[in-house]
Amino acid sequence: MHVLILGGTTEARRLAELLHGTPGLKLTNSLAGRVASPRLPPGETRVGGFGGVGGLTAWLREHGVDAVVDATHPFATTIGFHAARATAATHLPLLALRRPGWVPVKGDRWHEVGSLDEAARELPALGRRVFLTTGRMGLAAFADLDDLWFLVRSVDAPEPPHPLRMEVLLDRGPFTLDGERELLRRHRIDVVVTKDSGGAATAPKLTAAREAGLPVVVVRRPPVPEGVPVVTDPEQAARWVRDRRGQAPLPGR
């Protein structure tokens, strides 16, 4: 059985680890290639796009794929919808693996928005020194906010267009609460912007912002394509793959 894992996330790597070496199971991990030095999962790995829905559909047929797990980032909407259309065209089962989103708790000052453009419109009324943790791909939305100063954290260096007054911090999670507290203090941050990526690796910034009484602009995550089943942890996804083969659950499960 050939399973394609659309990955690039911690959950995708964990799923590959759970399934790697299973007799009769071939794994191919697909990475978008947006990170210069990705953490490679076990199994075969391909890097780069498929060329749209048509390219992905042809790839699934050419390589004899039997099932697809979309374990991409919650905001990687394009590949998610391409996977839904390509698997429908090839009559293959598709599962979405999505880490749970964050939930506000008492003391949080969240401003939930639907897009990066909406986040940019909110910012001038909330602060002047912005900790921007939305990744390097969407900085154009903030490029015209010349009156604000941005601390941008990303894995790789961003390219223009981006804010004029900006300091870049190249780093990769997981991050600690003490580290996030110190970062907010050292850079005199008065507002935080983030996407609802979920998970524990980058959540400490939310706790640090709550403790400091800072507003946080949270971009809501987009929906999974209609009709695609969703699980929230790699163990559930691994069981789904095994069910497709009619095998017993993974050892210890």
Q: What is the DSSP string of 191-244?
A: EEEEE---SSSSTHHHHHHHHHT-EEEEEPPPPPPTT--EESSHHHHHHHHHHH
pLDDT recorded at residue 212: 98
pLDDT at residue 252, rounded to an integer = 36
Quote the Cα angle for 98-102-107, to 5°: 180
The CA distance from 131 to 183, in Å, is 9
Q: What is the CATH number of domain 109-219?
A: 3.40.50
The CATH architecture annotation of domain 2-100+223-245 reads: 3-Layer(aba) Sandwich (3.40)
Question: 92: helix, coil or strand?
Answer: coil
Q: Which residues fall within 8 angstroms of residue 145, CB to CB, at 6 or more apart?
A: 120, 123, 124, 163
pLDDT of amino acid 239: 96
Residue from 171, 177, 207, 212 nearest 191 by CA: 212
pTM: 0.86
Domain ranges of the chain: 2-100+223-245, 109-219
* Burial of residue 65, with CB atoms counted within 10 A of its CB: 0-12 exposed, 13-18 middle, 19 or more buried: buried
Contact by Cβ (8 Å): 201, 116: no
The pLDDT value given to residue 37: 62
Alpha carbon 81 to chain centroid, angstroms = 15
- Whole-number pLDDT of residue 156: 87
- Residue 94 has φ and ψ, to the nearest 5°, of -130, 135
Tens digit of each residue's pLDDT, the chain (253 residues): 999 999 988 999 999 999 999 999 999 999 987 665 677 888 899 998 999 999 999 999 999 999 999 999 999 989 999 999 999 999 999 999 999 999 999 999 999 999 999 999 999 999 999 999 998 888 999 999 999 999 999 988 999 999 999 999 999 889 999 999 999 999 999 999 999 999 888 899 999 999 999 999 999 999 999 999 999 999 999 999 999 876 434 443 3
CA distance 6 to 73: 10
Same fold, 2-100+223-245 and 109-219: yes
The confidence score (pLDDT) of residue 124 equals 96
Q: Which residue's structure tokens are 């706790």? A: 207
For position 126, what pLDDT does the model report? Answer: 98
